[in-house]
Every structure is written in C-alpha cells, then in structure tokens.
Structure 1
Amino acid sequence: MTAGPLAPRAAPLANAGSPAVLRAQGLSKRFGGLLAVSNVSFDLFPSEILAIIGPNGAGKTTLLNLLSGVYRPSAGRLEIGGQDVTNLSMEKRCHLGLGRAFQIVRPFPEMTVLENVTVGALFGKPGTKLAEARERAYTLLERTGLAPHAEKSAHDLNLLQDKRLEVARALATNPTVLLLDEVMAGLRPGEATEAVELVRGVRESGVSVLFIEHIMPVVRDLADRVVVMDAGTVIAGGTYQEVVREPRVVEAYLGGEVTDATDD
C-alpha cells in the first residue's frame, strides 16, 4: 500500500530530559543457532512517538515480542517506569502500564464492540468493577470514533473500525506505553491518515507510543525519533531526516521498495 500525503505532524511533545518510560538495554534473543535480536538498546521518553523500521527479517516483531513479554530475552534488561520487568509475564507488564495492539486484529467476534473494550479495562487493572470498566470502555469508544458502533457485533466491523477497536482495547488497559504493530497495514491512504490522527491523539493523552511501520510517509509524519534495525541489530537512530541520510540505512532498507513490504 502507498500512503497519500499526510498532514504535517505536530511539534514533538516528548521530553528527553525526563526519565525513560521504557528502557531496553542490550536485549538479545536467540532461537537455537539464530540470533534474531542482538544487543538492542534504546529509550522511550514520556509522550514520545518512536518508530522501529527495517527490512524483512530485521527482527522488529521479535523485538516487540520481547518488549511485551511474549518472549523472554536470551540476554539484556528491560525496564518500565524504572522497574526491571525483564522476567515478568505479559500480564504483569500490562498491569505496570504496557499495552499492545497487534497487526492481525482478533476481537471477540461474539461480543459487542463495547464488551470487547470492557474486557480490556477489566484485564488492565485488577479489582476494577464492571460498571467502572464499561464507563472507561465507552469513553474510549468516543475517543476512537467507535461510539456509534458500541452495540454492534465486533464481527460486523470493517478493517479501519477493527484497527480502531484494537487500539481502544489496548488503551482500555490504561497503559503509559502503547506498542503498535503495523496498525496501518491494509488501510487505504485516507484511512491511514485517520489512523495517524488517532495515534497522535493517543500521544496527546499522555501515552508514549512505540510502533513498527513500513509506510515511510507515515513514519516521516508521525515519529519523533526513528530506530532502524537490520539483521537483528540497530544500525541507526535519530529523527526521520537524520536516519534516511545514513548510508547503511539507504543500503539496507531505503534502496528498495518498502511501502508494500511485510514484516518478519
């Protein structure tokens, strides 16, 4: 997919002088003889949008799985809000403020849109009452433009609405950090622009965002900083304008067709 022109992004709200809300230090993951992620380090700051880009097989999805707790690292350390979460489960990371929206959207099809988001609210904070969870869920449906579809079966949503539901369900867990795995995938240019505005709204609410994306206009217009991976390692980092001038980035990633690529 090729995205059309997007509105210029707002001035960064990130505060690099503040403590990192998420810190990866030397993260590595080995599957047998394959080193899928090797010594990856970066910080994510409050109210920052950070993009992770790279060619197929770069290790981006494996890295996201390390951050969210799907995999435990073979080496390295991960902190959320200054707390070591390296060996904590996905559930405990969620309770500490880490949310994730997946590329392949899998709502509970037998539930309504409101019920799907209510589940997220109940899961994110132990002890939450059902009435409180439903109230938070409906507020998030209003923020994500899904309130008119609250009582509709999740099975009946279109792709853009599915993406919005995935983000709303992740936000319902009350994260301080939201991981997004190619949420623009499959969207038409106009839909991608709407999704960009949705992510900006997430950041403006005080949530830091880390996202994987192949559509370079989206990365350009959305990210405060960009981390570039190739063959499991970080090869560049900085603003979009800085990384696209890096010779290693041009050779590894920007020299080919990237907007239609799929992740590893």
Structure 2
Amino acid sequence: MLRAEGLSKRFGGLKAVQDVSFTHHQGEILAVIGPNGAGKTTLLNLLSGVYRPSAGRLHLMGRDVTALPMEARCHAGLGRAFQIVRPFPEMTVHENVTVGALFGKPGQRLPEARERAWALLDRTGLAAHADKAAHELTLLQDKRLEVARALATNPSVLLLDEVMAGLRPGEAQEAVALVRGVRESGVSVLFIEHIMPVVRDLADRVVVMDQGQVLAQGTYREVTADPRVVSAYLGTEEGLHA
C-alpha cells in the first residue's frame, strides 16, 4: 500500500528524517515507535504531504505520489487522523463527518456525503451524538470523531498519529477495538504510538525510529528483543509495559 524509499527531511542543518525506507502491506496494521524527537511525526508529515521530502520517494498503491500535495494524496486514498483533534467546534458531529466526505472525493454530492457520514457515525459509535456540537464531546468521543472524519475521505490507507494519547486504560481499549474495526473494513493502518501494550495488541509489524533513522523493523516480539531498541527506547524490561 505504501512504499517509502530513502525518505529524508532537512530543516536547515537539522536532519529530522534520514534515509527511511519501509513497505506497508495491504490489510496490515503497521506501528511506528521511538523516543521523543525520533522523527515519527515528521515521517507522517512526509507521508501525508504536509512536507515535501528533501530526498527519497513515496509510492501509494504503486503510484509515485512524492510530488503530490496533501489534498491530492487524500483524493488518491491516503487519510490521516491527527493527534491534536481540531473539529469545527460549532458544527454538529454529523456535519463534521459530512465535510470529510465532501472533501475526500471531488464531485461528491451533499446527499451522498450525508449518508456516508451517518454510516461512519454508526461504525465509530457516535450516532447517538450526531446532533451535538463538536465542542460538547468528551476526549474519547473527539478521538472517534477524528477517525470518522478521516474515514469519510474514503481512504485505502489511514495514518493515525497517537490517537490513544490522553485516554484512560479502558478508553484506550475501546480505541484499539475501533482501529481493529477499521482494518476489518478493508483499510490498511499505519499508526504512531507510545503505549507499548497498545502496540503489542494492535501491530502486525513495527518500525522503530531513533534520531530520524530506522533502527529496527519486525514483529513486536522481534523488535522488543533487539538490544538496540531496548537501549534507545525501552530502557528496561519495564518499558515494555509503560
């Protein structure tokens, strides 16, 4: 679904991402982990088109999208949910998701967009809150709305940036179930996360970053057994359960 080849990003003399390569397969949930400052969010910005790479190429479903802006990548099937949720606060929950449906497919008519929004509110557990203003939602509901808006763009690949951040353990498990449901609907998922039990429970494979580079790739068991990963990120065995 995604193939990154030597992606790099410089900000002046700072090498934020250096020569990152990986493959994201159809139907896969791929996690990107690493310490703060490892370059994870910069990588997501490169994938989604917020930044243009200083070097490297990105292919989406076999198509070179390196030069495409963010909206064109969205129309090509790449969706993103952000860590900091910023819905249109005075619009209703249903209206927020309808906007996503209208944006994601050029030429989409309003009745069809509204219908798609209703279906996604059902899927994400927000149907009962459809007529609420977005600013009335709880944090967990905000996270669900962010995912629903991203899914409304009809992506083949969904990028999630720390959607579990700030959630209580029970809420995080609800969010895990939501992400699994996204995969079951046919959408491949790439996510950034710091909560290692969530990574363990969700990820088919894991990419570990450190200082802007890929440190290790493999299954959860493989990367957490790698001494380089333990040293750079986990620190101790207890880090696996943090």
State the TM bucket, normalised to the shorter chain: over 0.9
1:243 maps to what in 2? 223
Letter in 2 for 1:108: F
Q: Distance in 2 between matches of 1:40 and 1:250?
A: 20
Q: Which contiguous aligned blocks of 4+ residues in structure 1 show a shift greater than 3 angstroms?
A: 256-261
User: Alignment partner for residue 57 of structure 2, among 71, 77, 80?
Assistant: 77
Residue 258 (structure 1) shift: 5.6
User: Alignment partner for residue 13 of structure 2, among 33, 40, 48?
Assistant: 33
Q: Conserved in 2, the CA contact under 8 Å of 1:214 and 1:260?
A: no
Residue 259 (structure 1) shift: 8.3
Residue 112 (structure 1) shift: 0.1
User: Alignment partner for residue 68 of structure 2, among 71, 88, 92?
Assistant: 88
The within-5 A match list for 1:87-106 is 87-106=67-86
The within-5 A match list for 1:49-128 is 49-128=29-108
Q: Distance in 1 between matches of 2:154 and 2:2?
A: 15
Q: CA RMSD in A?
A: 1.3
TM-score w.r.t. length of structure 1: 0.90
User: Structure 1: any 5+ residue segments left out of the alignment?
Assistant: 1-20
1:219 maps to what in 2? 199
Letter in 1 for 2:146: E
Q: Conserved in 1, the CA contact under 8 Å of 2:196 and 2:241?
A: no
Q: Distance in 2 between matches of 1:99 and 1:59?
A: 20
User: Which secondary structure state, in structure 1, belongs to the residue aligned with residue 15 of structure 2?
Assistant: strand
Residue 36 (structure 1) shift: 0.6
Deviations 1:103-124 (A, max 9, x none): 0000000100000000000000
User: Structure 2: any 5+ residue segments left out of the alignment?
Assistant: none
Deviations 1:163-184 (A, max 9, x none): 0000000000000000000000
1:193 maps to what in 2? 173
Letter in 2 for 1:250: V
Q: Distance in 2 between matches of 1:166 and 1:73?
A: 26
1:228 maps to what in 2? 208
2:148 maps to what in 1? 168
User: Which secondary structure state, in structure 2, belongs to the residue aligned with residue 120 of structure 1?
Assistant: helix
Aligned residues: 241
Q: Distance in 2 between matches of 1:128 and 1:135?
A: 11
Letter in 1 for 2:63: Q
1:16 maps to what in 2? none
1:184 aligns with 2:164: yes
TM-score w.r.t. length of structure 2: 0.98
Aligned-pair identity in percent equals 80
User: Which secondary structure state, in structure 2, belongs to the residue aligned with residue 131 of structure 1?
Assistant: helix
Residue 260 (structure 1) shift: 11
Q: Distance in 2 between matches of 1:260 and 1:40?
A: 27
User: Alignment partner for residue 153 of structure 1, among 113, 133, 150?
Assistant: 133
1:206 aligns with 2:186: yes
Q: Conserved in 1, the CA contact under 8 Å of 2:97 and 2:145?
A: yes
